[in-house]
Amino acid sequence: MQRWPGAGWLAANVRYRLDRMGRHKTISDDDVLGIARGLFRARGHGATTRQIAEAAGVSEGVLYQRFGSKDDLFFAAMHPRGPDIVQLLGSEDPHDDARKYLRSVVVRIGKYFGEVIPLALRVMTHPSFDPGSLARAQPNAATVLREGLAERLASLARRKRIVTPSVAVTARLLVSIAPDWALGSVLSPGSPRRRDRELKAMVDVVWEGVRVH
């Protein structure tokens, strides 16, 4: 199995995957996109269809049959996924420990943006990038998260676990912390544990304004 600079982990993962599935079996589109995503993240648009095909155990012709062109494959692989609201925000009626809930939610949102931002940066530097098509393809993640979090904050407020004059404004403030933190993590990586502590400390500042005294 050929290794490419910066993607050794991917080659090992691909080898394991192909050993299990066997080259004679058909690899799914999702698996191809996952392999392509790993190579595009490591090498940018310079990753070739030949490298992707070899990693996936298929021919270049199969890639073009399935995805049309290298650009189409790139955008399909690198398109940021929309947020899974239940996974990130939890139940619509959060548990009673509001501070713990807010901390865990904002950390999960931060990690979500930490995964999405590198993909978005790669996509936005592509010569064929069309901001309009990206906006039409999926709703704004921050908006969806703000609306979902506002509903959960309203539940906490009804149960007297927090006090806020506006759950919408509080949700906006909490969600806005996450992308900024995630971008800082991408540009200046540090200890994950230290970065988590920093994010929780920011949430605690907001918490002081909404906790029940």
Give me the residue label for tokens 């393809």.
137
Query: Which distant-in-sequence residues (6+ apart) come within 8 Å of 126 by Cβ?
Result: 45, 71, 74, 75
Residue 7 pLDDT? 40
Residue 75 pLDDT? 85
pLDDT band at residue 55, thresholds of 50, 70 and 90? very high
CA distance 51 to 47: 7
Q: Minimum mean pLDDT among 94-103, 110-119, 129-138, 164-173: which range?
A: 129-138
Residue 132 pLDDT? 65
Residue 53 pLDDT? 93
Mean pLDDT of the residues in the chain? 82
Domain 8-78 has CATH 1.10.10.60: yes
- pLDDT of 148 over the 60 cut: yes
Q: Are 85 and 91 in contact (CB under 8 A)?
A: no
* DSSP H helical ranges for 22-166: 29-43, 49-56, 60-67, 70-78, 85-89, 98-124, 131-137, 141-158
Q: Please report how the helices 8-21 and 29-43 are oriented relative to each other, as an axis angle in degrees rounded to 10.
A: 160
How many other C-beta atoms lie within 10 A of the C-beta of residue 94?
22
Q: What are the tens digits of pLDDT across the range 164-174?
A: 999 999 999 99
Q: Are 155 and 93 in contact (CB under 8 A)?
A: yes
Backbone angles phi, psi at 189, to 5 degrees: -60, 140
Q: What are the tens digits of pLDDT across the range 6-32?
A: 444 444 444 434 343 344 347 889 899
Q: What is the mean pLDDT of residues 147-162?
A: 96
